[in-house]
Amino acid sequence: MLLKTILSFVLAISPAAAPATPDIPVAELHDRLTALATDRHITAGLIHVRTGTGQWSHAVGVRDLASGAPAAADGHFRIGSVTKTFAATVLLQLTDEGRLALDDPIERHLPGVVPDGGRITVRHILQHTSGLHDYMSEPGHSTNRWRADARFDDYTPSQLLKVAFAKGPDFENPGESWHYSNTNYVVAGLLVERLTGHPYGEEVARRILRPLHLTHTSVPGHRPSLPKPHARGYEPLPGTPPTIVDATDMDPSLDWAAGEMISTTRDLTTFVTALLKGRLTSQKSLTEMRRMREAVPLFRYGLGLQEFAIPCADGPKPVWGHTGQLIGYVTVAFTDGKGKSLTVSLNPYEQDPPTEAVLPMAKAVFCR
């Protein structure tokens, strides 16, 4: 059985036929994904690239370690924090409709919900400058960590906020600093629901998924499984060799509007491309989303958008989108806003794929 699994894994990452797409470096992208699988960084890797002349989807690796069946290029996966871009887009649409303003205090729309809500604005929430403590930094509350049977526990947004607010803010004055906090997007989800009277997931579907025909993207709520096809998500536990556990199934309510959504590489490419082309918000709102501030050395942050500078030979090329990580799945969705987009989904294996693993792929797509 072990030999069969190894042989199946090798066959699944062997070179595959790719369409002749002149401005997409399919051979290089395939080779880089295959190298990650060969080095046992990933069990599966999915990619979708779109340019002005065409698009290309591909997969390497296996759907699961038991059967060794090849991963599917149209496979579903948990997108983690890319969910934040969907939530932010809905709030910017509500801004376009005059339902709120970015500099409104949260207290105006969610009275009594957020401590110091009279000084924390919608902009602070969407840009991670509110200072609200990240509930996921508390023991047992991170979906990036193995939680055994606790991963099937149900949570409500109010429970998540209670955990966050028990610690007080990470900095005193809203807007004075930047600190990534999933708590912000739990507040964002509640804000959508208060303004519309509907669950935030219904608004995401009505305003984004259906208009863009993203039929393979969903807001799962408390559903623990993924639609088929999908590659299983694994997590290495400490040890020599590491123990590999299957982390695919889980109740994603611990993430809620901060990271619960499920999608495919093609759907995410369609989403980020449409957003940066101005198809989902007014130009004014898109400008606000792209108004960046320094965050960490790797990226700058706007309103639900990350900006990365891809180091090309003729100078850095900015791309926008979001990254996501939820146990078993790592996601990157970028676009240059000019017709080139890249989405990658990786399933970690014996060790998490290195942070810089996607950079050469991004350079191959955006620097050409």
Q: So which residues are the catalytic ones?
A: 81
User: CA–CA separation, 326 vs 82, rounded Å?
Assistant: 10
User: CA–CA separation, 361 vs 155, rounded Å?
Assistant: 37
Q: Would you tell me how many other CB atoms lie within 10 Å of the CB of residue 284? A: 11
- Which residues on neighbouring strands pair with residue 320, listed in sequence order? 307, 335
Give Dmax (Cα) for the chain: 62
CB 322 within 8 A of CB 337: no
User: CA–CA separation, 353 vs 43, rounded Å?
Assistant: 10
**Residue 88 token pair:** 């932010």
Distances (CA, A) of 40 to 9, 173, 230, 244, 263: 10, 45, 19, 12, 24
User: CA–CA separation, 309 vs 367, rounded Å?
Assistant: 11
Alpha helices in the chain (DSSP H): 2-12, 26-38, 83-96, 106-109, 122-127, 157-165, 183-196, 200-204, 265-276, 283-289, 359-366
- Which residues on neighbouring strands pair with residue 333, listed in sequence order? 322, 343
**Residue 196 token pair:** 């519309």
